[in-house]
Structure 1
């Protein structure tokens, strides 16, 4: 009987010790989450933004188009500007191509695969950045020490965008005409403790032209005759 009681006592003691250890681990994770997770999320969102911006710019830099084919400036016999027309067909085709290409590149980056446009792997295994645990101590000795927290991203929806056109005074008797692609990206920022949503918008100029004189009429998205 004594042996049975001793065995039961030992089992009960081990079970109690196991429960205490679980509670301690849970408390440590909870404390880390409340103390360091806001910092981790800030770092994660920052590097996710860097990654998305770099990929979008890298992809668009490889796109081929002629800026002079996207707009036409009309002048009268006195060399005064009468109108500016934007070729909506070419602009929309360029936007559609850009959105598809960016979407494919971001999906490849999140999975750590080779980019279909540049043929490069932007992020091995889809890891955007790694933060050492010691970073959160704010102590120089431990700044780059300890296990590293991996930061990843996941695309939520297809990349969307629109064409933005504007004309504004530039210097003396000059007008600056600018056509830009506005790209919207919705993604998830993923760490081992949490998942949060990240939205970003990028405005990327594709045409910047300075013309002499005021523009009396601006016709965005007007089809031109070639």
Structure 2
């Protein structure tokens, strides 16, 4: 069979067009394959990350929250004690001991007005100090910054693994707190026999704080109770019969 010049040219063009179409189809298939691989890889990464988060929440998050609550409680108690140490008050003005002609204790009178003043002053001061501490600001009473940037504690991620050589390894998980409401408290009085023919008089400030413990994955609530002795005094004489002072405050 003899091909003329025109026929041969047409056949060459057809062959070239066919080859070009085939190459284009291969490129399209290759792109689709790469796209599918990328999608599968992304799905695998998301599923893997989800499994890690689920595992962390199941096994490590309870441990992290326990540690966070513990150190938040320590922080609150330390701030309360530090602030109260700077509050000035006259211990002898808070109560009065009445005695019989024989020198025995007949009664103990507590100055309700001064105790209430001390209670409200202490609670307001503690409230302001805790708000400053949660924001990493300077304390209005001590003029110190208790916690830089409001970070109470940093837990190394390796600590949660319970593997000895990983205890201080890994990224630091920051623990913060947020006050949920105003600080509350009350004045507590107590007198009891102490030794032979002596009475111990004790006046304490009970402070309650509700706070939110915050880590990077979860939050939880914490209620702390701190009892600070304001007066502890031993006097000679038996414990009298009297109604002790008591006062509580929502602020």
Q: TM-score, normalised by structure 1?
A: 0.94
CA contact (8 A) 1:175 1:210 kept: yes
Residue of structure 2 in register with 1:169 after alignment = 193
Residue of structure 1 in register with 2:204 after alignment = 180
Question: How big is the shift at 1:175?
Answer: 1.1
- Deviation digits for residues 157-189 of structure 1 (CA, Å, limit 9, x no counterpart): 100001111111111111111111010000011
Q: Does 1:203 align with 2:232?
A: no
| Gap regions ≥5 residues in structure 1 | none
- Deviation digits for residues 15-70 of structure 1 (CA, Å, limit 9, x no counterpart): 12101100001101111121111211111111101100110000000000010000
Q: TM-score, normalised by structure 2?
A: 0.85
Q: Distance in 2 between matches of 1:101 and 1:156?
A: 17
Residue of structure 2 in register with 1:155 after alignment = 179
Residue of structure 1 in register with 2:137 after alignment = 113
Q: Does 1:143 align with 2:143?
A: no
Q: Does 1:52 align with 2:76?
A: yes
Residue of structure 1 in register with 2:61 after alignment = 37
* Structure 1, 164-173 or 4-13: larger mean CA deviation: 4-13
Aligned Cα RMSD in Å?
A: 1.3
Question: How big is the shift at 1:75?
Answer: 0.9
Residue aligned with 1:218, SS: coil
Residue of structure 1 in register with 2:8 after alignment = none
CA contact (8 A) 2:103 2:237 kept: no
Q: Does 1:74 align with 2:98?
A: yes
CA contact (8 A) 1:85 1:219 kept: no
* Structure 1, 58-67 or 25-34: larger mean CA deviation: 25-34
Question: How big is the shift at 1:116?
Answer: 0.4
Q: How many residues align?
A: 222
Select which of 28, 35, 42 maps to 1:18.
42
Greater RCO (CA < 8 Å, at least 6 residues apart): 1
Structure with higher Rg: it is 2
Residue of structure 2 in register with 1:6 after alignment = 30
